[in-house]
Amino acid sequence: MALEDADALWAAQKDRLRPGELACRAGCFGCCVGLFAISLPEALALRRAAFALPEHVREGVHARAARAVARSAQVFPGDPGLGILDPERVEGAEDAFFEAVRATACPVLDLPSGRCLVYAARPTTCRTYGLALASGAELVLPACELNLPAAPPARSLETAIDAARLAAVDQALADLAAADGLPAGAETTVAHALTGAAFEKLERPRVRRGPVRPRP
């Protein structure tokens, strides 16, 4: 399954790290600030996990998500009420939105503990963030600045996650979306997945269809 495949990418590189090179730990939440795009299968998995939280926790999550959605509604490239990012969005509109939510904490981030309330259902981005991303000898994204302290750039490359293998995980998610009849290529954010009216409609057919194969 795609989420486990993302875990495997991380685990393989983590094994190559030397003592002191990895700062990632429970309670470190630097990468949980700033909304980002997630696929619909990830969104539905996250919704199920969030809605299974105890009521008082769930209410707090929903309130934070609703605030994030309301604050960014003017620049959301799509209908913020439905919660789906426009698949045809232009790069400029996407950049403006993600810049606007750059300092928004993820609604399922618990503070002050710094823990993810839906850790087992977190998206692939959360599972692979922290190490660099590379395509061959080219660094696509740098590692988190807390990891690999004082290491030369080559060390980032040696321990980077392979962009092609991560793209294969994304493709597996797209295949999963297609198999479940979800809109092709559609994406959302954690906040919009929790509040968007589109998701109730997307979940309903699966309930009527009866048993389906295990989801990530």
Sole binder of ligand SF4 in the list 61, 69, 106, 173 (CB under 6 A): 106
Q: Is 101 in the site for ligand SF4 (CB under 6 A)?
A: no
- Smallest gap from residue 191 Cβ to ligand SF4 (A): 10
Which of 65, 108, 166, 194: binder of ligand SF4 (CB under 6 A)? 108
Determine the interface stretch with ligand SF4 among 114-122, 135-143, 194-202, 205-213 (rule: CB under 6 A). 114-122
Q: Assign 129 to helix, strand or coil.
A: strand
Judge contact between 83 and 69, C-beta under 8 A: yes
Length of the chain: 216
Identify whether the C-beta of residue 216 lies closer than 8 Å to the C-beta of residue 4: yes
Largest CA distance in the chain: 55
Q: CA neighbours within 13 Å on the CB side: how many for 58?
A: 12
**Cα distance between residue 76 and residue 100, in whole Å:** 9
Scanning 5-13, 103-111, 157-165, 193-201 for contacts with ligand SF4 by CB under 6 A, the matching segment is 103-111
Answer whether 204's CB lies under 8 Å from 197's CB. Answer: no
Question: Per rule CB under 6 A, is residue 64 in the interface with ligand SF4?
Answer: no
Choose one: 48-56, 101-109, 144-152, 174-182; the region binding ligand SF4 (CB under 6 A). 101-109
Please pick, from the candidates 22, 50, 101, 116, the single residue that binds ligand SF4 as defined by CB under 6 A: 116
Tell me, by CB under 6 A, how many residues bind ligand SF4: 9
Q: Per-residue DSSP letters for 30-83?
A: GGGBS---EEHHHHHHHHHHHHTS-HHHHHHHHHHHHHHHHHTGGG-SEETTTT
Query: Torsions phi, psi of 137, nearest 5?
Result: -90, 5
Nearest approach, Cβ of 161 to ligand SF4 (angstroms)? 16
Query: Cα(77)–Cα(87) distance, rounded to whole angstroms?
Result: 9
Residue 32 sits in the site that holds ligand SF4 (CB under 6 A): yes
Q: Which of 114, 142, 139, 143 is nearest to 130 (CA)?
A: 143
Q: Is 131 in the site for ligand SF4 (CB under 6 A)?
A: no
Instruction: Give the residue with the Cβ less far from ligand SF4, 127 or 134.
Output: 127
Minimum CB distance to ligand SF4 smaller for 56 or for 213: 56
CB of 172 to ligand SF4, least distance (A): 19
Binding status of residue 126 toward ligand SF4 by CB under 6 A: yes
Residue 109 near ligand SF4 by CB under 6 A = yes
Binding site for ligand SF4 (CB under 6 A): 32, 106, 108-109, 116, 118, 122, 126, 190
